[in-house]
Chain A
Amino acid sequence: MEAIQIRSNSAKKIIFLLIVLSISSLVALMFAADNPSEFNRMQLPLLIINSLSLLVLFGVVFLSVRKIMMDYKKSKLGARLRARMALAFSGLSVVPALLVFIFATDFMNKGLDIWFDADVEDGLRNALLLGRSAMDDQEQKRVFDTANIALSLDGIENIEQQLNESRETISAKQLLLLDQNLQIIAVSTETIGLFAPQLPSLLEVEIAQSQQSWSSLDSSSSDGYTIRVLIPILNFASNQTPLFLQGLFVVDPRLSMLADSVEETYAAYGRLSFLKIPIQYSYILTLLLVVMLALLLAIYGSIEFADRLVRPIESLENKTRSASESNSMLHLPQSDSDEISSLVESFIKAEKEAAWSDVARRMAHEINNPLTPIQLTAERIQKRYASVFKNEELDFLNKSTDTIVSQVEVLRDMVLEFGNFAKQPQLNFEVFDVSKLIDETLEFLKKDKDSFQVLVQHNGDASIEADINRIRQVLNNIFTNTIDALKYESHPVIKITTKSLVHQSNEYLVLEIKDNGHGFDNKLLDSAFEPYTTTKNKGTGLGLPIVKKIIDEHKGLISIKNNKEKGATLKIFFLKAYER
């Protein structure tokens, strides 16, 4: 059972790529926001990428949630735990994300409201009015100047000369004489190139005629701010149609620059004010997109995390079920090396050890009971018929009864080993030197078999705190196995080294036993410490399991591996000081 349907590696890679892409684009969006033109250029592609990621993530999360719900409804094992965990983790991310979104939106809206405060707008408008009133004074003066010129013109003869002199007198940029149909009669211009003067509109001419003057402040991209004045000319003797004098004056550049600045600021504020709602919406949408992405990522992560936690438990259930259905051994699942997996592994190991101990205890009991009657009966048969049979029959009787008795002894040894494996001993801890114990054990074993070479190297203090009898049994079992493995070697060698090691604040004595024997069958190496794993004809398969059990009882560690060249190496990590 899997929480998320999309399991293929390529799909996972695409999702991962999209997540990386969306995070990168969000970061890019954040940096681009500092530069408006860059932001303007990049925003749309980034928005598309993020929207795409959002859609894909939404799809993945939707499928995962649907799968969890379906499993939950079907009451599948682990579904309830997975659903609860996913819900809890998602809840932990959803609530803060929503809170952040609500508060950020609120702060943003308030910030924008402060930005567009009425006082700011009034201040800007007042600045505009102030500037305009300063311009009004200049405008009135220019109306007065132009009106005086209009009064001083005394006829159409030499009109251009009159206009030139007058323009210079009043410092106008241009003086223009035109009729009511906007036909130019004469023009005087400060700049020679300025041949395309802006003509007044008919409406402006009408106003000038009815009100005796018309004036306006104007702006152009070339001259900055200008004042245009239009005055009707009344005193021409030959006036058939009304004539008008238009004066064009350039505003003082400093004043023009200040006016420009005020106008630009006012316009910029007006633009922002007009776009306030779209700005608000776009910021909220961007924030929403970011929050949604973060949220979906968190939910997806929560589901994935819950899935990883529950997977070993599911695996345990599956293995247990398949083992019970097929009456086969319960093999450890090859799962991730996290705590939950280790816990499951330990649980399986404990179950297995308990089961084996129970089997060993029952076997010891069941085998031990008939052994004594068998042995006694064999001895009685031998005694009773020793006087009856002669020669060959007697030999046969003696051999047969001896075989029975010796095999009973073998069985008794086996029962003893089963008993040792099954029993829960009371450990008597004491501090002793392992190197001495090694020497004793080897001495005992070499009495019969002195045909192998032993190289011993003790590096430093080799004392530990342990049950000396149990450790003696460990060494006995190991060396017996090692000597057996060297039986057919021409130059058998056993290398024994001890050294101290500190690991995670625990001080260990490391005992390494290396031989050049036949080593372990690679198929059996993984299960070397499991009961009844043996390649020997007469072995019980309990030697190494007993060693492992004793080392576990002492909270030590044991490992075994085949050497690259030949033989095997066994390592035991003894705690130097046992922690109760």
Chain B
Amino acid sequence: MKQKKLVLLFFICTVFSGELNSQVKNSYGESYLENGVYYTNIKLPVKFRADQVEALNSGLSFEADLRFSIVNIKSWRLDRTIGEVEQKYLVRYNAFTRRYSVLNSITGRERSSSDLSDIELHISDIKNLPLIDDSLINIDESYHVYLMTYIRAQDVPRWMQSLTFWRENLDTEMEMVEWKLFK
């Protein structure tokens, strides 16, 4: 009986450690303080699926929506969101130039490449993104940053989505990434 319990415990530990490892491997985020501002570096496994690539090549554009939430973690009370930051990237394919382009909807900066993986890499590897002003942070408290990433097909009318609800969705919601604002 005891042996069975040990086997079960080992199995659970293996599964969960694998899960944690894969999360660590796929997504990663860290923050640092510089000149009174917390910046962040993120690595995301942004990879368009085959049907999404087909849609992209057909003329549909995709929006990668990165939503950061800075949450004050309370021990015995409800956590409190103290700030939110959003980054939006519009990815599209130009049949005339045969190049993919990614436009940062917030900054207006644009980049193009004939290789989609370049674009994926551009969204996956974000560096030095300003998150929150230091004045809003109390160093004695604990803060976590949560990142939710959505990839949504544009130009698909909502009525069409609702009427064809049983079909596979072109949208993707990625795993949430969480890290401490500071150690």
Interface residues of A (CB under 8 A from B): 36, 39-40, 43-44, 47, 128, 131-132, 135, 196, 198, 201, 203, 216-222, 225, 259-260, 262-263, 266-271, 273-275, 277-279, 281-282, 285-286
Contacts and interface: CB of A to CB of B under 8 A. Distances in A.
Nearest to A268: B59
Given A47-B163, A218-B112, A269-B59, A274 B54 contact: yes
Interface of B: 54-55, 57-60, 94-97, 99, 101, 103, 108-115, 118, 155-160, 162-164, 167
A201 B95 contact: no
Contacts of B167: 277-278, 281
A218 B97 contact: yes
Q: Which of A36, A225, A274 has the most CB of B within 10 A?
A: A274
B59 A131 contact: no
A26 B159 CA distance: 14
Contact of B59 (A36, A259, A267): A267
Nearest to B121: A201
A218 B111 CA distance: 10
Contacts of B94: 219, 263
Nearest to B166: A281
A197 B157 CA distance: 36
Contact of B110 (A221, A270, A274, A278): A221
A275 B170 CA distance: 11
A219 B114 contact: no
Nearest to A135: B96
Contacts of B101: 219-220
A281 B164 contact: yes
A263 B159 contact: no
A263 to B, nearest CB: 4
A290 to B, nearest CB: 13
Contacts of B54: 274
Contact of B97 (A216, A271, A286): A216
Nearest to A283: B163
Contact of A40 (B95, B103, B110, B158): B158
Given A198-B111, A198-B112, A216-B114, A281 B163 contact: yes
B97 A219 contact: yes
A90 to B, nearest CB: 28
A270 B163 contact: no
Contacts of B108: 221
A460 to B, nearest CB: 72
B69 to A, nearest CB: 28
A212 B163 CA distance: 53
Contacts of A216: 97, 99, 114
Nearest to A196: B109
B97 A36 contact: no
B164 A271 contact: no
B163 A282 contact: yes
A286 B160 CA distance: 10
B112 A219 contact: yes
Contacts of B112: 198, 218-220
Interface of B is mostly: mixed
Given A263-B95, A274-B55, A274-B58, 8 more contacts: A39-B157, A201-B115, A203-B118, A262-B96, A271-B155, A273-B58, A279-B160, A282-B164
Contacts of B110: 198, 220-222
B83 to A, nearest CB: 27
B153 to A, nearest CB: 10
Contacts of B157: 36, 39-40, 43
Contacts of A270: 57-60, 95
Contacts of A220: 101, 110, 112
Nearest to B96: A263
Contacts of A222: 110
27 contacts: A39-B157, A39-B159, A40-B158, A43-B157, A43-B158, A43-B159, A43-B162, A47-B162, A135-B96, A196-B109, A198-B111, A201-B113, A201-B115, A201-B118, A217-B99, A218-B112, A219-B94, A219-B101, A225-B96, A266-B59, A267-B95, A271-B60, A273-B58, A274-B55, A282-B163, A285-B164, A286-B163
A178 to B, nearest CB: 16
A182 B156 CA distance: 39
A259 B96 CA distance: 7
Nearest to A267: B59
Return the 4 tightest CB-CB contacts between A and B, nearest first. Answer: A270-B59, A267-B59, A43-B159, A282-B163
B159 to A, nearest CB: 3
A267 B97 CA distance: 12
A218 B99 contact: yes
Contacts of A40: 157-159
A293 to B, nearest CB: 15
A274 B60 contact: yes
Contacts of B159: 39-40, 43-44, 47, 282
Given A203-B115, A270-B59, A281-B167, A275 B99 contact: no
A541 B96 CA distance: 103
A132 to B, nearest CB: 6
Q: Which of A44, A217, A273, A278 has the most CB of B within 10 A?
A: A278
Contacts of B103: 221
B93 to A, nearest CB: 8
A247 B109 CA distance: 19
A222 B101 CA distance: 13
A550 B113 CA distance: 104
A282 B158 contact: no
A40 B114 CA distance: 33
A260 B59 CA distance: 13
A267 B94 CA distance: 8
A40 B55 CA distance: 20
A40 B157 CA distance: 6
Contacts of A275: 156, 160
A450 B118 CA distance: 123
A128 B95 contact: yes
Given A44-B159, A218-B112, A278-B160, A271 B96 contact: no
B65 to A, nearest CB: 19
Nearest to A272: B59
B31 to A, nearest CB: 25
